[in-house]
Structure 1
Amino acid sequence: MEEVREEQSQPLAGQDSENEIVAEGASFVHGEPPQDGDSPPKVESEVEVLHEKVTKQIMKEGYGQKPSKYATCFVHYRAWTESTQHKFEDTWHEQQPLELVVGKEKKEMEGLAIGISSMKSGERALLHVGWELGYGKEGNFSFPNVPPMADILYEVELIGFDETKEGKARSDMTVEERIGAADRRKMDGNALFKEEKLEEAMQQYEMAIAYMGDDFMFQLFGKYRDMALAVKNPCHLNMAACLIKLKRYEEAIGHCSIVLGEDENNAKALFRRGKARAELGQTDAAREDFAKARKYAPEDKAIVRELRVLAEHDKAVYQKQKEIYKGIFGPRPEAKPQRASWIVVIWQWLLSLLHRIFKSGRQKTE
C-alpha cells in the first residue's frame, strides 16, 4: 500500500474531501431526535403482537430488510419498568449504541431481541415485554435497578445490522477487522449522502462509530490508534454536518467536542461546532471557535465568511440597542437661555444712576 506523504495538504474546514462529507449545502431532510422526557412516549399506532409476551407499536418507519438470526444489530434504546415508570437505561444519553447478536442475546434481553428481529433499519418502535422475557422473577437490584416480575417498556431504534452467518460480534474481531468494518460503514454513509439519503447516511456513520467504542479505543496505541481515529473522527464530523442540517445543534456540538477531545486543533471540528453554536445564538463561543479554526486553516474562505456574518450580526445588534436606548431616554434637552431676574435689573439700574449722580456732582465741584 502506498504510504501517505506527511507533507500532503489537509482539506480545509469548508471543503469536501474523499473521507469527509460536508453537508451544509445539502437539501433538508426531516428527522426528529427521540423524546427527551423521562417517561415512556405516548404512541397511537396499531399494536402488533410479536409473541405472547411481546408487542410492538411503530413510531417511525424503517427501510430495507429485517435482520435474520445471528445478525449483529446496532440499536439505541430506552427502558422503563412499566409499573413504576422508572427509566433504568438510555443509550442515547450515554452515546453508546447497544450491539446485540440476534439468537445469542443475554437472557434478560430475549424480549428485546424478538422486537429487534421484527424491525427494519431506521425503524423506531415502542416494545412492551412481559417479565418472563425480561429480568424474570428475581429482577435486578444492582444495575439496572429492576424490581421482581417487572414488565418492561422499550423505546428502541434499529440503527442497522450486519448479516454474518456465524454471528461474529465486535469482541471477536481483530483490531484490523473492526477498523475495516467501520471504514466500510463510513464509505457506505458517504455514498448514501451523495444520494441525499441523509438519515440513512447517519445510521451508517453511527454504526461505524459503534465499532470503535471507548472500551476498544482505550486498548489502542501507536499506529493502531491512529488508524482507528482516521476512521472514527471523520464519522463524528460527518454526523455533525448532517445534524446541523437537521437543526439538531446540541447533538452536533457533542460530536464535534468528541473529535476535539482527541485533536483540539482540528479546524473542521472547530468550524462545525462554531456553526452549531452560532445557530443556537451562542455568538461569543462561536466566534472563539471560528477564530481558532482560522488559526489552523487561514486560507479557508468558509471560516472568513462565518466571521464576517458574526461581525455584521454584532453591528446590527448594536444599532438596534442604540435605537432602543434612544427611545427610552429621549433626545438630550437643549439648553435654554436664562432670563435675568428683575431684581438684578433694578439693582444694576440703581448702580448706574448713582454713578451718574456722583460723577455729575464731582464735575460741579471742580
Structure 2
Amino acid sequence: EQLRADGVYKEVLREGTGPLPDFRDGTKATFHYRTLRCGDEEAPLDDSRERGKPMELIAGKKFKLPVWEAALRTMRPGERARFRCDAKDPLEGQRHCCSIAQLHDHYSLGYPDLDELQKNPQPLIFDIEVLKVEAPGSYQQDPWAMTDEEKLQAVPLIHKEGNELYRQGKVQEAAAKYYDAIACLKNLQMKEQPGSPDWIELDQKITPLLLNYCQCKLQSEEYYEVLDHCSSILNKYEDNVKAYFKRGKAHAAVWNVAEAQADFAKVLALDPSLRPVVTKELRSLESRLREKDAEDKIRFKGIFSQ
C-alpha cells in the first residue's frame, strides 16, 4: 500500500520463498536489477548481470535510490518483480530518474541514455530479482557500510583473516583483506587532526597492515607499489626495519642496485641480528647482476658482429 501511495506499482513475475524478511536496519539484500523505460522494455538502460556482479543494499544506510529499499522491503528471497513509477506523478518519476542517473554517475554501461534521463525525466521500471537477504550480524559488512565503532572492532578480525589467507598461499585474497582493514582505519584517521595522539595511534595500527600488504605485493611482483608504500612509512618512521627490508627487496627486483644496497645496509645498522637474511639477499642480487652482465655481453657481441 505504501508503494502505491508513493506512485510505485508492483507486478510479481516469480514468487519468492519463505517468510517476508523484517528488513530492519542493517539487513543486507543482494539482488540483480534491470532499469527500463516505460514503453521501451526491450532495451534496458542498465543491467547488473552485464557487469557480472549483483547489487548489494543495506537497510538504513541512506541508499541513493530510496525506491529500491522500499521495493525490497516487499520481496522474499528468490522473488522477481517489476516496479513501475507512476507517470501520473511527475515529481516521483523525476526523483527516480535523477537518482538512477546519479547512482551510476553516467558511466555504468557507457549509455548516453542516463544523461538524457536527467535532462528529460520520464517514468522508469525497475526489474528486481532478490538473490538473498541476510540479517544484521550474519554477514561481514563492507567498510563503507560500517559505523566508526564497527570499523574499529572489525580491523583485528580482518587482519587475522588476511594472515590466514596468506599462510594458505592465497596472496591476492590476503592483500584484499589487508586493504579493507587499512581502508577502515584510514576512514577513521581522516576525521582526526593530523599529528594528534588519536591520529598517531591509528597510523601505528595502519603501519603493520600496510607492511603485510607490501609483502603480498612483493609476492605478486608489484614492486613499484611496494616502493611507494614503504617510502611513505619511512618518511614517518625512520627506524622501521621491515619497511627498509621490503623496500630493499623491491629496489633489487627493479635493478635499483645502489638503493637496494643502501636499504639493506640500513637494516643491518638497525638490527644486526638480521645479517644472515640480508647477506642472502645481497648474494642473490650479486648473482643476478653477474647473470645480467653475461647476457648483456652476449647481446652486445651479437649486435657489433653484424
TM class by shorter chain equals 0.5 to 0.7
- What's the CA shift for 1:246? 0.9
Gaps of 5+ in 1: 1-47, 72-100, 113-125, 139-160, 329-366
Name the counterpart of 2:158: 185
Structure 2: distance between partners of 1:243 and 1:279? 12
Structure 1 or 2: more helix by fraction = 2
Match of 1:163 in 2: 141
Question: Is 2:195 the counterpart of 1:195?
Answer: no
Match of 1:253 among 208, 212, 227: 227
1:69 aligned to 43, 48, 58, which one?
Answer: 58
1:211 is aligned, of 184, 194, 202, to 184
Shift of 1:326: 11
Which is higher, the Rg of structure 1 or of structure 2? 1
Q: Distance in 2 between matches of 1:252 and 1:162?
A: 28
Amino acid at match of 1:54: D
Larger RCO of the pair (alpha carbons < 8 Å, separation 6+):
1
Partner of 2:35: 51
Could you say what secondary structure the match of 1:51 adopts? strand
Decide whether the 8 Å contact of 1:294 with 1:303 is kept in 2: yes
How do 1:1-366 and structure 2 match up within 5 A?
50-52=34-36, 53-55=45-47, 67-70=56-59, 103-104=63-64, 107=99, 109-111=102-104, 127-128=108-109, 130=111, 137=118, 162-163=140-141, 169=145, 173=148, 178-213=151-186, 216-217=189-190, 219=193, 221=195, 223-300=197-274, 301-314=276-289
Contact 2:48 2:55 (8 Å CA) reproduced: no
Please state how far the C-alpha of 1:272 moved relative to its aligned partner. 0.7
Quick one: percent identity of the two aligned structures? Answer: 24
Give distance in 2, aligned partners of 1:203 and 1:55. Answer: 26
Deviation at 1:180, TM superposition (A): 3.5
Measured after TM superposition, the shift of residue 281 of structure 1 is: 1.5
Contact 2:230 2:247 in 1 (8 A): yes
Please identify runs of 4+ aligned residues in structure 1 that moved more than 4 A.
56-59, 104-109, 129-136, 167-170, 220-223, 312-328
1:281 aligns to what SS in structure 2?
A: coil
1:221: Cα distance to partner? 4.4
Q: 1:127 to 1:320 in 2, by over 3 A?
A: closer
Distance 1:50 1:263 in 2: 50
Q: Give the secondary structure class of the aligned counterpart of 1:219.
A: coil
Aligned-pair Cα RMSD in Å: 4.3
Evaluate the alpha carbon distance shift between residue 259 and residue 168 of structure 1 in structure 2; reply closer, same or farther with a 3 A threshold.
Answer: closer
- Asked if the contact 1:243–1:251 (Cα under 8 Å) also holds between the matched residues in 2, the reply is yes
Any gaps of 5 or more consecutive residues in structure 2? Answer: 1-31, 37-44, 67-98, 120-138
* Number of positions where the alignment pairs a residue of Structure 1 with one of Structure 2: 211
**Shift of the alpha carbon at 1:233?**
0.8
Using structure 2 for the length normalisation, give the TM-score.
0.53
Q: Cα offset for 1:249?
A: 1.3
